[in-house]
Amino acid sequence: MRSICLTLPTNRACAATIAAVGEEADYAAGHFGVEVHVLILDSSGKQTFAEHAQVVDEARRAPNVIVYHLDEAEQRHFLRRVIRRSGVLEPGLMLDLMLPAAVSYGACTNRAFLIAGALGCHSVHRRDSDSTYQVLNGETVFPIHHELTSLGKTAADAASGVSETVLDPEHASKPVVMVGSSFVGELSVDIGEISRLDRDIYHDVVGLWAPRHWSDEQKRELVDESFRGAGTDPFTGDHSTLTHVNPMRVDMCNISFLHEVYERVPLPPATDTIGSDYFLMHLVHDGTLPGVLHNRHIVNYYTAERRTDAGFMAYQLRLTKFFLSMLYFNFIYDRMAAAGASLIDGDFHLRPEAVAELARESAGSDREENVHRLDVLNRSYRKLGGRYAEFADVLASRGRRLLEEAQADIEDFALLTEAWRPLMEASRSTSVRGPSTSTSVHQPIR
């Protein structure tokens, strides 16, 4: 029986989402005959963790659904054993990159990848804690339906299970390695208030993730398309396309990868940086590997924490670091696009050494472009006033440090990519439940 990993990383209260993800797991097991390992990587506080555990304990899951609810101590114990067994250099640094003290969207998903390896999973399917599913005629619309319909098949075999194919026949023998969709609801990045306050400033700020040499028209097009997902129209019926999936059309709350992808290349482990978990979408696309884009969009919403002053400041910092990271990722993406099929070998496997080389090369980029980004943010936020002006003061005091962190983040990505293969191999022979861990593993009610 094929095993899959349906994972939900969280650092906030999300009992309803945990219950809904469990229902998606039941659907997958019942409709596709797979064994589903539901992996909840929980970095929330003790009280919230206990509330989550109660939801998991009280649920009656379908046969062949197993739920792993791991706190950070349990995750750390697993990682230490994997790192020790792998023999990689600088084990302390590797542990920091896999489980940093600060928030890291890439690192939490990398942990899911390693645990999926330990569980012998064929694929990883990721959801987010600040989202939920759409409903049509009383039935929940689960994205995993399209993911398990196509993932792992050759493009030729997958063609019969999709609505349309826009893939050249030369790719027919390649595997479908990614299936995903987007979201409806609120913007994926919490910047709607900026748009309401000053549309010109909104364009100046959002346009910062474009390469500086782009024309004004190109930047306007990017701004108009950015962070909106699939809009607000509700789901009315299925549509799926076999294609090279445009990374702008999918979101990490609604994505799945075949093991052939994440076993070879990790996600950037940058801390306090949104968007750090989107790299593999670009790599799959530029490497000419097939995927399926469907329309079972997930509903995105904002949690109350984002509305607090502390939440606002934390989020603006992550947004700033995202803009700074684009100095390096735009460099990498341009060269990956030019490299095309040379990013994979003759067996259609991604080449991690090519990725690591590009990441190291990008680290030498001139920081002047990022100095410009900080200047635009500082000027724009001061014009907006209020909390934005207060955050501009933070930028003024931390600007040099942020420039250093952005460069260090891409260097860490290169280092982790070079160490990823032995880490993944070690995970396959490491039990998720070590001899001294109290990991909560919830077996199905039969």
Q: What are 368-415's pLDDT values in tens digits? A: 999 999 999 999 999 999 999 999 999 999 999 999 999 999 999 999
Q: How many angstroms from the chain centroid is the CA of residue 179?
A: 13
Angle between helices 309-339 and 386-427 (to 10 degrees): 50
pLDDT at 4 over 80: yes
The pLDDT score that the predictor gives to residue 303 is 63
| Average pLDDT of the segment spanning 13-36 | 97
**Of 186, 187, 184, whose CA–CA distance to 233 is shortest?**
184
Instruction: Please count the other Cβ atoms lying within 10 Å of the Cβ belonging to residue 165.
Output: 19
| Average pLDDT of the segment spanning 22-45 | 97
CA pair distance 173, 10, nearest whole angstrom: 37
CA pair distance 137, 435, nearest whole angstrom: 47
Structural contact between residues 5 and 121, judged by C-beta atoms closer than 8 angstroms: yes
Q: What are 218-270's pLDDT values in tens digits? A: 988 888 887 777 788 899 999 999 999 999 999 999 999 999 999 999 999 99
For the chain, what are the domain ranges?
A: 3-230+238-438
CA pair distance 144, 151, nearest whole angstrom: 10
- Confidence at 440, pLDDT banded by 50, 70, 90: very low
CA pair distance 209, 223, nearest whole angstrom: 9
- Which amino acid does the sequence have at 54? Q
> What is the token pair recorded at 70?
């791991």
> What is the token pair recorded at 54?
């109660």
- Confidence at 443, pLDDT banded by 50, 70, 90: very low
Q: Is 124 helix (H, G, I), strand (E, B) or coil?
A: strand
Structural contact between residues 254 and 180, judged by C-beta atoms closer than 8 angstroms: yes
Looking at residue 340, what DSSP letter applies? G
Q: What are 158-199's pLDDT values in tens digits? A: 999 999 999 999 999 999 999 999 999 777 566 778 888 999
Q: How many angstroms from the chain centroid is the CA of residue 7?
A: 11
Cross-sheet strand order for the sheet of 3-10? 164-165, 240-243, 291-294, 178-180, 255-258, 123-126, 3-10, 35-42, 65-70, 440-442
The 10 Å CB-count burial string (b at 16+, else e) for 204-235 is bbbbbbbeeeeeeeebeebbeebbbbbeeeeb
Residue labelled with tokens 């804690």: 129
The pLDDT score that the predictor gives to residue 444 is 40
Q: What share of the chain is helix, strand, coil (3-state, %, to 5)?
A: 55, 15, 35
Q: How many angstroms from the chain centroid is the CA of residue 342?
A: 24
The pLDDT score that the predictor gives to residue 436 is 29
Between the alpha carbon of residue 82 and those of residues 416, 427, 430, the distances in Å are 14, 5, 6
pLDDT at 437 over 70: no
Cross-sheet strand order for the sheet of 131-132? 131-132, 298-300, 183-185
CA pair distance 122, 175, nearest whole angstrom: 13
The pLDDT score that the predictor gives to residue 305 is 60
The pLDDT score that the predictor gives to residue 226 is 78
Torsion of CA 286, 289, 290, 294, to 10 degrees: -50
- Confidence at 304, pLDDT banded by 50, 70, 90: low
Which sign does the torsion angle of CA 70, 73, 76, 81 carry? Answer: negative
Q: How many angstroms from the chain centroid is the CA of residue 218?
A: 26
Q: What are 94-146's pLDDT values in tens digits? A: 999 999 999 999 999 999 999 999 999 999 999 999 889 999 999 999 999 99
Q: What are 199-214's pLDDT values in tens digits? A: 999 999 999 999 888 8
Q: What angle do CA 170, 175, 178 make, to 5 degrees?
A: 115
Structural contact between residues 145 and 30, judged by C-beta atoms closer than 8 angstroms: no
- Which amino acid does the sequence have at 390? E
